[in-house]
Structure 1
Amino acid sequence: MSPPIIPGFPPSEPILSRRLVRLGTGLLIALPLAMWLANRSAPLVLGLAALCFLASVVAAEGWSSLLQRLRARLLAPAGLALGGFLLWSLATIAWSHRMGPSLAMWGELALPMASGLVIAASGRFHPDRRESRALAVAIALAGVLMMAELATNLSVRIALDIGKQVTYIFNRPVLTCLVLLPVAVAGLSLRWRGSALDWLLAAAAVVVVAMISFDSESGAAGLGFLLLALTWLAARLLPRLMLALVALGFVATMALAPVMGRLGDEALPQSLHERLANSHSRDRVDIWLSFGEAIRARPVLGSGFGTSPTLDRHPVALEVSPPRRQLLAVGHPHSAPVQAWVETGAIGAALLTLAGLALLWRLRHLPARDLAPRLALAACAFGVATVAHGAWQGWWIAALALAAVWFFCGVPSADRHD
């Protein structure tokens, strides 16, 4: 008996391969809901999906075609820069004061990146109208569930005695929904020019993410949503100018990270800090001042990848002035550019800057309608990473990897430079 024909696959496709693709795609769609349920689950979900796609392509084509596509991705400018950063950051662990935890953190960064690469290189992830709709529903549903839990003060979790029963546990899933939002909206509004249902789902996802972004305890989520919306709108009107501005802002922020604390201390008046008290702006500036001194102590090579969580116990702490030394124990500098500098030095920061510019350079030929969502994602993600969480946290890397893969494999553009 011949295998049943499944839409989207050639009749010769092995049934096991088809089912693995369906399973992997379902896992990717469910990622926002998985993050609502367990706020560090994104790397696991992405990794399982990658295994599904890996097994599917091996079952259908063997290893050779997959390895050729992987090689092509790795030899692209962005792939070379990111690969160089991973190798350099691995090398810096040699002068970490805790090599085991540093290596574990390196794995937390590398594994989601590898999972995204495998999914993209598999050539088997092709989300269409149905998947874009499902992702929008998953994002909106995750947001509604988070708002319901916040409104009831986590009563269900308290009654079931599961997980941490504090409201900031939703900061990670909120940011995950935020970075996946442009993917879902673009997928619904670009390829099919918006049926009534598509526009309804896109609008629902936008409204829910906006509400939860400003309702959660994550001030970075509100900032990210504003950057997302403003960049998207501006890029539709002035696409080339906005691309240049985002690139310039990215380079400037990476270059000025060692003195970010000084700039914030001098530029932001106390009255503004008082209005931003819920966002802990004053605390962040003080943290950046402390980590800035650590950067200047080891400006080229850094203190070693993954050293930020216990930098107060690293030998570099002795080179930081006593008034600033205490804040080295906060866990991370709440800024990805600062963390890249303090751990991997100017070399690591330069490699990350090259990778970011290479990704932006690939967008230069896109028309405004295709450029806008991709540029909005870049501005939003970098804005959030500049003022918020630890740079290498696996849930964040996994969310960004999924957004990038979905754009590359599913959301249309005038050419394939995305």
Structure 2
Amino acid sequence: MTDRLEGGAPEPVAPRPFAPTPVAQRVARRAPIVAVVFLCATPTLMIVAREIPATMLVAVTAALVAGAIAAGLAGAALGDLRRAGATIGGAAALGLVALAAASVLWSPTPARGAAHVVHFGGGLLLAAFAVALALRTGLRLPARALALALGAAALLAALDLASGSALREAAAFDGEAYRLNRVAVAIALFLPLATALLAAERRHLLLGALWAIGLAAIGLSISHSAKLGLLVAILVLVPALLAPRVVHRIVAIASVAVFLAMPLLAPIANDLVPARVHEAVGYGSLTIRGEIWAETAPFVRQKPILGWGIEASHALPGLPEAAGLAPAQRDLLSWGHPHNAPLQIWLELGLVGALLAAIALAAGFAALARLPRPLRPAATATAASAFAIACVSHGAFQAWWWGLLGLLAIAYAAAARDLSAREP
């Protein structure tokens, strides 16, 4: 009292400990379960709504936010997110989003470009925050839950494809076979993680059944992207189980190198593929992609530093610079995007965007290398598969694609917490 009267500093008051109410405790327990249900349900829902991964990423993040607030962990997760943004990889990713947003000013399709900035930037931010929340709240992803959900999606897709779309048509949904291409991609990307989780629990019978159903669904689909992704995953997963560090470094270096070299590789892509493969896959699924890339690559050289602006690839055939091209060349540019994410980033965001993306990609591989040992081979296989698919299919800034990748990141974060305790 005397000190206070004489101008001394008051004694510090200790912060009151967080004490959740009974309602908050229930929310903290149940919200992560809801998040896992949303995550696991996504591949099955993609059978009837192929754009739904973006919506499910929002739903999963919202559930995790609710659980974190109820548990008093939201502030800590935000701090984790800020620290991640201050790393080299995080800064590169934020810089890439900022460049994409700025490029709306010189894009020939500013309205479309602005929408895709939201798709791309929003997907990255939601995924990063959800991963931070998943790690803070101790989100658990049971192996059986993921396996059964993935198996259900694969079984329904296989039955529908084998029956000529009878299941979807009976439910009054579009029966076109290509509608199941994205669920086939999702199955291919989730299979390595499910494999790691089931193997860690020695559930070999369930693992064999899941692979049999997954192979059937992907094999019956008309998605060569999914088939490529599955092939790459298998080719990487097997050696990664024997030499995880070496294979991970090779995949990381190769992916970054291919990304940076894409403007040089794209024009000669068809020449790099054996004629036998061209004949087996067909012109409409393989050869035409190489032709699209060959017609797109010259535009990269015209604006090499900052590119043409986000989603400019959608408008290429109508640009004055394309007026002198033959009709067949303009037709090859009219597919909405080059079906090659690295090439699209080079085209639309130039060398600056490509360097930022390559740094972020390298940082992503470095983060995967820090996962628990049982997860590393699967993570390497998933990353290699996703990169291969991105190089031959889908737009670089599509919301569903970033939603799916975000859900994969959350799934690996949830699995990492459980498996880290099993490391010797």
TM-score with structure 1 setting the length: 0.88
Question: 2:191 matched to 1:181?
Answer: yes
Task: Name the Cα RMSD after superposition.
Answer: 2.6
Q: Give the distance between the partners of 1:229 and 1:92, measured in 2 at CA.
A: 38
Query: CA, structure 1 residues 160+25, in 2 after alignment: closer, same or farther (shift >3 Å)?
Result: closer
Shift of 1:145: 0.4
Question: 2:99 matched to 1:94?
Answer: no
Query: Residue type matched to 2:240 in 1?
Result: A
Structure 2 stretches of 5 or more lacking a match? 1-19
Query: Residue type matched to 1:142 in 2?
Result: A
SS at match of 2:137: coil
Shift of 1:171: 0.5
- Return the match for 1:408 from 396, 408, 413: 413
- Return the match for 2:226 from 214, 221, 226: 221
Shift of 1:268: 3.5
Match of 1:19 in 2: 30
Query: CA, structure 1 residues 73+367, in 2 after alignment: closer, same or farther (shift >3 Å)?
Result: closer
Match of 1:126 in 2: 139
8 A Cα contact 2:120 2:397, kept in partner: yes
Quick check: 346-355 or 178-187, which moved more? 178-187
Q: Give the distance between the partners of 2:327 and 2:407, measured in 1 at CA.
A: 42
Query: CA, structure 1 residues 278+166, in 2 after alignment: closer, same or farther (shift >3 Å)?
Result: farther
Query: CA, structure 1 residues 319+206, in 2 after alignment: closer, same or farther (shift >3 Å)?
Result: farther
Q: Give the distance between the partners of 1:109 and 1:101, measured in 2 at CA.
A: 12
Once the two structures are superposed, the pairs formed by residues 315-354 of structure 1 within 5 Å of their partners are 315-318=320-323, 324-354=329-359
Match of 2:311 in 1: 306
Q: Give the distance between the partners of 2:242 and 2:31, measured in 1 at CA.
A: 41
8 A Cα contact 1:294 1:319, kept in partner: no
Query: CA, structure 1 residues 168+106, in 2 after alignment: closer, same or farther (shift >3 Å)?
Result: same
Q: Give the distance between the partners of 1:157 and 1:396, measured in 2 at CA.
A: 23
Match of 1:393 in 2: 398
Post-superposition Cα deviations, 1:66-85, rounded to whole Å, max 9, x if no partner, equal 32122122223332221111
Q: Give the distance between the partners of 1:137 and 1:170, measured in 2 at CA.
A: 19
Query: Residue type matched to 1:144 in 2?
Result: L
8 A Cα contact 1:294 1:320, kept in partner: no
TM-score with structure 2 setting the length: 0.87
Q: Give the distance between the partners of 2:75 and 2:367, measured in 1 at CA.
A: 27
Quick check: 245-254 or 12-21, which moved more? 12-21
Q: Give the distance between the partners of 1:367 and 1:124, measured in 2 at CA.
A: 18
Q: Give the distance between the partners of 1:127 and 1:319, measured in 2 at CA.
A: 57
Question: 2:186 matched to 1:167?
Answer: no
Q: Give the distance between the partners of 2:347 and 2:80, measured in 1 at CA.
A: 34
Question: 2:95 matched to 1:84?
Answer: yes
Match of 1:33 in 2: 44
Query: Residue type matched to 1:172 in 2?
Result: R
Match of 1:203 in 2: 208
SS at match of 1:14: helix
Quick check: 19-28 or 291-300, which moved more? 19-28
8 A Cα contact 1:74 1:80, kept in partner: yes
Shift of 1:312: 1.8
Q: Give the distance between the partners of 2:178 and 2:187, measured in 1 at CA.
A: 15
- Return the match for 2:264 from 247, 259, 263: 259
Quick check: 134-143 or 175-184, which moved more? 175-184
Match of 1:155 in 2: 166
Query: Residue type matched to 2:238 in 1?
Result: L
Shift of 1:324: 2.8
Q: Give the distance between the partners of 1:387 and 1:155, measured in 2 at CA.
A: 30
8 A Cα contact 2:339 2:392, kept in partner: yes
Query: Residue type matched to 2:137 in 1?
Result: R
Post-superposition Cα deviations, 1:9-66, rounded to whole Å, max 9, x if no partner, equal 9989622332322222211121111112211111111101211111221233165323
SS at match of 2:204: helix
8 A Cα contact 2:314 2:337, kept in partner: yes
Query: Residue type matched to 1:45 in 2?
Result: M
Question: Any runs of at least 4 consecutive aligned residues in structure 1 with deviations exceeding 6 A, and if so which?
Answer: 9-12, 319-322
Query: CA, structure 1 residues 279+219, in 2 after alignment: closer, same or farther (shift >3 Å)?
Result: farther
Quick check: 278-287 or 371-380, which moved more? 278-287
8 A Cα contact 1:366 1:413, kept in partner: no
Shift of 1:159: 4.0
Once the two structures are superposed, the pairs formed by residues 369-388 of structure 1 within 5 Å of their partners are 369-388=374-393
Q: Give the distance between the partners of 2:228 and 2:100, measured in 1 at CA.
A: 29
Match of 2:57 in 1: 46
Shift of 1:320: 6.2
Q: Give the distance between the partners of 1:319 and 1:346, measured in 2 at CA.
A: 26
Larger radius of gyration, structure 1 or 2?
2
Q: Give the distance between the partners of 2:167 and 2:138, measured in 1 at CA.
A: 36
Query: Residue type matched to 1:133 in 2?
Result: R
8 A Cα contact 2:65 2:74, kept in partner: no
Post-superposition Cα deviations, 1:93-115, rounded to whole Å, max 9, x if no partner, equal 11111211111112122222222
Shift of 1:211: 1.9
Match of 1:280 in 2: 285
- Give me the identity figure in percent: 29
Query: CA, structure 1 residues 50+135, in 2 after alignment: closer, same or farther (shift >3 Å)?
Result: same
Shift of 1:351: 0.9
Q: Give the distance between the partners of 2:45 and 2:327, measured in 1 at CA.
A: 43
8 A Cα contact 2:251 2:384, kept in partner: yes
Match of 1:3 in 2: none
> What is the number of residues matched between the two proteins?
400
